[in-house]
Amino acid sequence: MRRLLARVLGQGFVPGVKRSILLLVAGTVVISAVGAGSARAGDTTGTLETDSGDFVGLIAGIKSHMPSQGSNGYRVPTAGELRKWETAIQVLQAGRLSDAASIVAAMDYKLVEYTDQPAGALYLIFMEQEPITRGWGTYAYNPNHERNIHIHVDHPVFDLNTYRVGSSAFRELGAEWFFMAGTHRYANPNGESDMARAADSVFQTFHEQLLSTETVALSIHGFSPAAHDPPISRSDIILSAGQTSSGVWEVPEITLTLRDAFVRRGYATAVAFQDPGFLDLSGGINPQGQYANETVGFGHWIHIELTRSIRETSMEYLKVVDTLAGFLGPVLVLDKQLLGADTGSLRPGDVATYTVTMENVGYGTQPDNKKREFVDKLDTRVEVVDVTVTSGDLIVRNGNVVWNGSIGPRSSETVIIQVRVRASATGRFCNRAVAFVDTNSDGANSATVKSNRVCASVG
């Protein structure tokens, strides 16, 4: 998928671009409600346009044009229109950009090729043609995402600056998708325009089409302490995994470990259903949460409520984004095995094979940084015969096997090392492989992970 879109986008595509202290992002697809280009309502040609600017600023501009409270500016999509969006999503992911543009043009949206400055990352933007008559929202896809994370902003107008928190998180985390509602939550009556309530929406359609067991959606919300009693009023951040439509709830491990990460940064953080007194802000009736919990299980949709003081200043909400980046980074697990021989009694001249599997069980990519990502320093009683990997670069020198490369989220890489026992070898020997991890996407492998200890005897 990443190679396909790179070919489609051509020379403007900038793979592996780094941005800020957290970012590894390039080639983003944005589906949005207002903005660049010159197409007008009624244009159904599906032509790809071009523009450039700042992504977070673009999102701020989209928010400023949204239909307001009581405007009746949201139009409920028909079942047929939702099916068209399902097709548009599928076509977009297949790299058929002209076809995707044509599908959405028939619904007053257009496709814009947008370059995010100053990093030069390329975005594709589906924008509702002005004047805004549908208010179906903004959806951004990053084909070179570093994390299998989806960012949701259900109430960009009602919840102060959540659109800034969400768009910053999308960019800085190198997240896969960004969703933002297209109107004030109370633009229409009866919850029609509230994406945290409306089940038959384009917002919900994107969620249902894109969620999987490999992804986590972070739903960004805001609360005012003055509107609540303790303990909510004394809290900074409230987390929840929501409920099912029948009211079943769980507290998955991801919410507890994320709570601990925020607490370490100095935030008073609670988990609804775990800590008493927080059910009012648990997101239990949110249709995205209910769908996730009923289809892929708890822990793939996390409701995050931020107090107003966090959202008021960029210093504070970027601190939250930084915490998320550290928590949702790569997590490597190493497993080493010795195969092809009776490891309890090797003999001189025997050929055996070490396999070392590096599995990234986290939600962020382990990038190919300047320094090594893996080293296996073999015992001097064996000599290397052959080493194979499926990707990356190998260096074999003086019994050291060094690998440089990247491992995507929920992916793995296996290093296969064939060795021969030296003629002079005797006794028992053991070793471990070591991986070096970039835990916060700053371009440096700052953490070390060791494999299990593997031993063999020569006799």
Give the pLDDT band (50/70/90) at residue 409.
Answer: confident
Same domain, 266 and 393: no
Give the pLDDT confidence score for residue 329 in this predicted structure.
Answer: 85
- CATH code of the domain containing 6: 3.40.630
**Cβ-count burial of 5 within 10 angstroms (0-12 exposed, 13-18 middle, 19+ buried)?**
buried
215, 233, 235, 277 from 228: Cα distances, Å: 32, 5, 10, 11
The total number of structural domains that make up the chain: 2
173, 65: one domain: yes
- Taking 70 as the threshold, does the pLDDT of residue 5 lie above it? no
pLDDT band at 18; cut points 50, 70, 90: very low
Give the pLDDT band (50/70/90) at residue 119.
Answer: confident
Whether residue 166 is found in the same domain as residue 33:
yes
Residue 399 sits in the same domain as residue 310: no
Structural domain including 374 reads 332-458
Residues 6+ apart with CB under 8 A from 13: 5, 6, 26, 27, 122
Tell whether 393 and 323 lie within a shared domain.
no
Q: Is-contact 288 241, C-beta < 8 A?
A: no
Which of 274, 309, 327 terminates a domain? The answer is 327
**8 A C-beta contact, residue 71 and residue 183:** yes
Average pLDDT of the chain is 87
Phi-psi region of 275 (alpha: psi -120 to 50; beta: other; left: phi over 0): beta
d(CA 126, CA 106) in angstroms, rounded, equals 12
Residues recorded for the chain: 459
Query: Are residues 25 and 97 part of one domain?
Result: yes
Residue 24, beta-bridge partner list: 18
Per-residue confidence (pLDDT) for residue 436, from 0 to 100: 95
- What is the number of other CB atoms lying within 10 angstroms of the CB of residue 275? 15
CATH number of the domain that 347 lies in? Answer: 2.60.40.740
Residue 31 has pLDDT above 70, yes or no: no
Instruction: Read off the pLDDT of each residue in 46-73 and give the average, rounded to a whole number.
Output: 91
pLDDT of 138 over the 70 cut: yes
Strands 374-377 and 400-404: antiparallel
Enter the tokens of residue 276. 């008493």
Determine the Cα–Cα distance for residues 184 and 154; give it in Å rounded to an integer: 9
Q: Look at residue 340 in the predicted model and tell me its pLDDT.
A: 65
Where residue 189 falls (left for φ over 0; alpha for ψ -120 to 50; beta otherwise) is beta
Higher pLDDT, 295 or 95: 295
Return the top range by mean pLDDT from 90-104, 112-126, 298-312: 298-312
- Distance (Å, whole) CA 269 – CA 219: 16
- Are residues 169 and 40 both part of a single domain? yes
Q: How far apart are CA 417 and CA 235, in angstroms?
A: 52
| Cα 202 from Cα 208, distance rounded (Å) | 10
Of 327, 354, 382, the last residue of a domain is 327
Which residue, 327, 348, 370, sits at the end of a domain? 327
Helix (H, G, I), strand (E, B) or coil at 153: strand
Based on the fold, state whether residues 346 and 320 are members of the same structural domain. no
* Spatial CB neighbours of 113, under 8 Å, sequence gap ≥ 6: 9, 12, 48, 49, 50, 51, 122, 123, 124, 125
118 or 231: whose pLDDT is higher? 231
Q: Look up the pTM and report it.
A: 0.80
Q: What is the pLDDT of residue 142?
A: 86
Higher pLDDT, 384 or 26: 384
Average pLDDT over residues 185-195: 97
CB atoms < 10 A from the CB of 333, how many?
14
The answer to which of 37-46, 113-122, 138-147 has the lowest mean pLDDT is 37-46
Instruction: Indicate the pLDDT class of residue 46, thresholds 50, 70 and 90.
Output: low
* Averaged pLDDT for residues 9-13: 32
Is residue 292 pLDDT above 80, yes or no?
yes
In this prediction, residue 443 carries a pLDDT of 81
Question: Is residue 173 a contact partner of residue 324, using CB atoms and an 8 Å limit?
Answer: yes
Give me the pLDDT at residue 28, please.
44
32: pLDDT strictly greater than 80: no
pLDDT tens, residue by residue, 249-290: 999 999 998 999 999 999 999 999 999 999 999 999 999 999
Q: Do residues 180 and 309 share a domain?
A: yes
Which one has a higher pLDDT value, 438 or 335? 335
78 and 185 in one domain? yes
Residues 227 and 340 in one domain: no
Whether 315 and 398 share a structural domain: no
